[in-house]
Structure 1
Amino acid sequence: MRFIALGTADVIGGFGSWRMWWMLAKNDVARRYRRSRIGQLWLTLSMAVTVLGMGLVYSLLFNIPIASYLPHVGVGLVLWGMIAGILTESCLSFTENENIMRQIALPRFTYLLRTIARNLFVFGHNLIILPVVFLACGTAINANMFLFLPGLLLVLANLAWAGYLLAILSARFRDIPQIIQSLIQVAFFVSPVVFKPAQLPPNHPVLILNPFASMLDVMREPLLGHLPSLTAYAILLGLLVVGWLVSLAFAGKYSHRVVYWL
């Protein structure tokens, strides 16, 4: 319990330092496209080209009408970009902030929030694509779309505990980022990003045992005007409780050593 209390104090302190991680996250995105003529619009253009290209190719491969398939793959790629970006970059949350951590005593969770906020800025740019796709394909809009926000918050809460754990482990073991990046690439192909869950039998292990499938379900289905699966909510809520208990205990015991591992 003592370690959980220490980990909780660090997380609360991280949220309290919101001015710091918010400013750093905005600067990260702006710096990436400094001196570019169209600046951060490159984020949107790059994703738009990917969505259109994969939508055309896979609709032919799966023999699915483009008007039905393009919204599915468009939402899937935009959401996957956020999920994969947060997890892979969380591994570097401490190592890329080494100079700051050695000079300023801030809660360690502050640096993870910088990573999450940076990816949310990118995600916000990419979301602009979806209304255009929906309009072009005639996707119906209804009240189910309001369920997207609680689904997004549930996913971010799960990514936060996983990212916190990975950031600490990566500071100690420098092979972790490469391992996670490889696993994320594999997860892309076994998660319903480009294929539809309906193409698999009900309760298929890929949908039940793969937490990424549940994350996509609670966010993508509302955007497409459908109700998410209650099973997906149950899986993510279970992971949320267990994951945060483990992550807080681990952080309370080891996060103070991170500065010595850098």
Structure 2
Amino acid sequence: MARMVGRDPDRPVPPSRSRTVAAAWADLSRGFGQRELWLQLGWQDIKQRYRRSTLGPLWITIATGAMALALGLLYSLLFQQDLGFFLPHVTVGLIVWGFISGCVRDGAQVFIENEGLIKQLPSALSVHVYRLVWRQLLFLAHNMIIWAILVAVFRPHLGWSFWLAVPGFALLVANGVWVTMFFGIVSTRYRDIAPLLDSLIQLVFYMTPIVWTTRTLQEQGGAVAQRARIAEINPLYHYLEIVRAPLTGQPLAAYHWWIVLACTAAGLLLALAAMRQWRSRVSYWV
């Protein structure tokens, strides 16, 4: 009588079975379960990048702080804004933007740069995504030192709403995963996507209220105030607000959360669809 043998988990899944949403979700789950691997690899990336450097990742913090101080002082004078409000606004905006742009730019190269590991290491494809998001999260944590300094200097009234930043950061990380996965797969197949994203992210920076505020337009009243609503078309504005408002002591409307949650759900579905269709081909494209 034939003996039933279970399928070897390390054996490649046939293409017909791998092109399902369940298989795509299983890859995300299995990759998260291998967290000891991507946590170590992400930390090693930072150590390797700043090897023989005395300050290490603090160079990113110094650069971000210098840029925030320069832009905050300049635009607070140009827009006649209170420095105690405007400088934290710019600083937190730059910190969050660094995480978002890092996931987009580096995410477009995540599988291309890990060609050797993808072909030789029998692990889930999502391991490389978690590794990149973890690395960007470490950079963000270093940059939060600047925010702590501003809180000590300006002493904003944070209140209980400060804790809303925690789910805000969690949503940023969740979006970082799907953004990295989606653009990583698409950019591996179409190599022109990466330089295009690099140019677009610079353009979107100026379209997002980071070095300017919607309050500046609203204070002018009339038709100018109505134009402030144009900024709300940009979904990245809402991603910034769910973190920036709690960290700077500013009021946060509930609709920002609903927009971010809707974009997160849509993005995860988009990433799962891309994984279902092309996940098994990434190793051949790199």
Q: TM-score, normalised by structure 2?
A: 0.87
What secondary structure does 1:134 align onto?
helix
What secondary structure does 1:107 align onto?
coil
Matched, 1:48 2:48: no
Aligned sequence identity (%): 34
Point out where structure 2 has 5 or more consecutive residues left out of the alignment.
1-16, 218-224
Matched, 1:257 2:281: yes
In 2: Cα distance, 1:260 partner to 1:21 partner:
22
**Residues 42 and 131 in structure 2, CA contact (< 8 A), matched pair in contact too:** yes
Offset of residue 203 of structure 1: 8.1
Matched, 1:148 2:189: no
**Residues 30 and 124 in structure 2, CA contact (< 8 A), matched pair in contact too:** yes
**Residues 4 and 245 in structure 1, CA contact (< 8 A), matched pair in contact too:** no
Match of 2:133 in 1: 116
Offset of residue 205 of structure 1: 4.8
Match of 2:242 in 1: 218
Q: TM-score, normalised by structure 1?
A: 0.95
Offset of residue 71 of structure 1: 1.0
Matched, 1:83 2:71: no
In 1: Cα distance, 2:77 partner to 2:88 partner:
15
Offset of residue 68 of structure 1: 2.1
Q: 1:71 to 1:10 in 2, by over 3 A?
A: same
> What letter matches 2:102 in structure 1?
G
When structure 1 is superposed on structure 2, of 246-255 and 183-192 the one drifting more is 246-255
Over 6 Å off, 4+ runs: none
**Residues 14 and 107 in structure 1, CA contact (< 8 A), matched pair in contact too:** yes
In 2: Cα distance, 1:86 partner to 1:173 partner:
18
Count of aligned positions: 262
Higher-Rg member (1/2): 2
What secondary structure does 1:106 align onto?
coil
Q: How does 1:178-189 map to 2 (within 5 A)?
A: 178-189=195-206
Matched, 1:176 2:200: no
What secondary structure does 2:53 align onto?
coil
**Residues 158 and 243 in structure 1, CA contact (< 8 A), matched pair in contact too:** yes
* CA shift digits 1:92-118 (9 cap, x unpaired): 110110001110121111101111001
**Residues 14 and 109 in structure 1, CA contact (< 8 A), matched pair in contact too:** yes
**Residues 86 and 159 in structure 1, CA contact (< 8 A), matched pair in contact too:** yes
1:7 is aligned, of 24, 39, 47, to 24
**Residues 158 and 246 in structure 2, CA contact (< 8 A), matched pair in contact too:** no
> What letter matches 2:266 in structure 1?
V
**Residues 151 and 219 in structure 1, CA contact (< 8 A), matched pair in contact too:** yes
Offset of residue 202 of structure 1: 5.8
Matched, 1:17 2:34: yes
Offset of residue 198 of structure 1: 1.6
**Residues 103 and 132 in structure 2, CA contact (< 8 A), matched pair in contact too:** yes
Which protein has greater RCO, CA pairs closer than 8 Å, 6+ apart? 1
Offset of residue 87 of structure 1: 1.3
Match of 1:228 in 2: 252
Point out where structure 1 has 5 or more consecutive residues left out of the alignment.
none
Match of 1:63 in 2: 80
In 2: Cα distance, 1:69 partner to 1:189 partner:
16
> What letter matches 1:231 in structure 2?
Y
When structure 1 is superposed on structure 2, of 183-192 and 64-73 the one drifting more is 64-73
Offset of residue 51 of structure 1: 1.1
**Residues 161 and 247 in structure 1, CA contact (< 8 A), matched pair in contact too:** yes
* CA shift digits 1:40-65 (9 cap, x unpaired): 22122111111111111111111112
Matched, 1:165 2:182: yes
